Amino acid sequence: MADFYQTGVISTLHRLKSIDQSRIEQELQRFAADYRIALVLPALYSELQGPAMGPIVDTLCTIPYLNEVIITTDRASPEQFEHAKKYFSRLPQDHLLIWNNGPRIQKLKDLIQSNGLPLGQGGKGLSCWFAYGLILARRGSQVIALHDCDILTYSRELLARLC
């Protein structure tokens, strides 16, 4: 089986040719003037100590076309959530952290479920759903990108191609 094979209706975007990264980033900057771009980062707190998160944040600090970054943190104590806020404070973009297992989100989950909308088990999907809702409610961005926080080969090109 080829390494790009997937079952179902999920498509994979392949690197069919080399790209001019600077041209793509210039296009994204022009595009972002009219259609602001948000990035969602769903992360377990433990990923802040992993080898991938530091280089991802370092790279994001150099990206001029992102309007906002929404980080969803999960499995974090109150002290760990405070640490996460400090960890991401160097991002130059407008950024917010959602504490998925915090009391405010739990209250919101209870309210939603008490009104007949079952949320199911928690996890990355639900975390992203809350982040999308926040972005839509803030009305600050028209485009939403998402990627994991454990990408060891992260680069500006990866984000540019994604956007």
What is 36-162's CATH topology? Spore Coat Polysaccharide Biosynthesis Protein SpsA; Chain A (3.90.550)
Chain segment 50-87, per-residue pLDDT in tens: 999 999 999 999 999 999 999 999 999 999 999 999 99
Output the pLDDT for position 1. 45
Mean pLDDT (the chain) is 91
Output the pLDDT for position 151. 95
Chain segment 37-52, per-residue pLDDT in tens: 999 999 999 999 999 9
SS3 of 122, please? coil
Given a cut of 90, whether residue 8 has pLDDT beyond it is no
Confidence grade of residue 149 (pLDDT, cut at 50, 70, 90)? very high
The CB-side HSE value for 48 (13 A sphere, CA atoms) comes to 17
> 148 Cβ partners below 8 Å, 6+ apart?
42
DSSP 8-state symbol, 34: H
Pairwise pLDDT comparison (4 vs 112), residue with the higher score: 112
Domain boundaries, the chain: 36-162
Output the pLDDT for position 12. 55
For residues 97-105, average pLDDT: 95
Q: Are 127 and 98 in contact (CB under 8 A)?
A: yes
- Name residue 76's amino acid: A
Confidence grade of residue 122 (pLDDT, cut at 50, 70, 90)? confident
- Worst-scoring range by mean pLDDT, 27-41, 89-103, 116-130? 116-130
Given a cut of 70, whether residue 13 has pLDDT beyond it is no
Strand pairing partners for 4? none
Given a cut of 60, whether residue 6 has pLDDT beyond it is no
Output the pLDDT for position 18. 73
Taking the C-alpha atoms of residue 70 and residue 61, their distance in angstroms, rounded to an integer, is 14
Pairwise pLDDT comparison (20 vs 48), residue with the higher score: 48
DSSP 8-state symbol, 6: -
Given a cut of 50, whether residue 153 has pLDDT beyond it is yes
